[in-house]
Amino acid sequence: MANRSPVRDLPGAAQFSKSVSESDVYQFAGLSGDLHPIHVNAAYASSQPVGQRIAHGVILIGLMSSACTLWAAREGLDIVSYGWDEIRFIKPVFFGDTITTSYAQDPEREPVGQKWYSVADAYNQHGELVGVGRHTAYVT
């Protein structure tokens, strides 16, 4: 996926944007039980290479999933997720970052039966790629 054009440039791509707040991260930490100090302990995070607290990677997948939901609704498809593959967290997502995710049908793979194949990516407010992934949706 690294050599491909940004997903936002693919025909029919849907986008979703959200600013990731401290509250979002703490609520997810409580919900999931993932209290790793890189997410919730500023003193610990400042001693790490990233230098500050970061959002959970799964939050980024959730934002990509939101773009998927918009895409499916626009396409008139009722879907459930069959799974995500090749997820890569390219750069950290910091508290306050505004993330824009894009989602589109994979131009390299045609649907097979009820399985549709798509690609997703995410950029921060500086235009830096922060994440990518491939998604398989099951059309109901």
In single-letter form, the type of residue at position 44 comes to: Y
Residue 108 φ/ψ region, left for φ over 0, alpha for ψ in the -120 to 50 degree band, beta for the rest: alpha
- Residue 47 is predicted with a pLDDT of 98
| Longest CA pairwise span in the chain (Å) | 51
- Residue 4 is predicted with a pLDDT of 63
Strands of 14-78, DSSP E: 14-19
Domain 10-20+56-139 has CATH 3.10.129.10: yes
Neighbouring CB atoms inside 10 A of 135's CB total: 25
pLDDT in tens, 13-65: 999 999 999 999 999 999 999 999 999 999 999 999 999 999 999 999 999 99
CB 16 within 8 A of CB 71: no
- Residue 111 is predicted with a pLDDT of 94
Sorted by where each begins, the domain ranges of the chain are 10-20+56-139
In single-letter form, the type of residue at position 1 comes to: M
Query: How confident is residue 3, by pLDDT bands cut at 50, 70 and 90?
Result: low
Torsion of CA 93, 81, 120, 88, to 10 degrees: 50
Specify the residue for token string 């593959």: 85
- Residue 85 is predicted with a pLDDT of 97
* Residue 79, H or E segment: strand 79-89
Q: Is 71 helix (H, G, I), strand (E, B) or coil?
A: helix
* Residue 76, H or E segment: none
Q: Tell me the mean pLDDT in the region 77-84.
A: 96
Q: Tell me the mean pLDDT in the region 113-117.
A: 96
| The pLDDT of residue 11 is above 80 | yes
Q: Tell me the mean pLDDT in the region 69-89.
A: 96
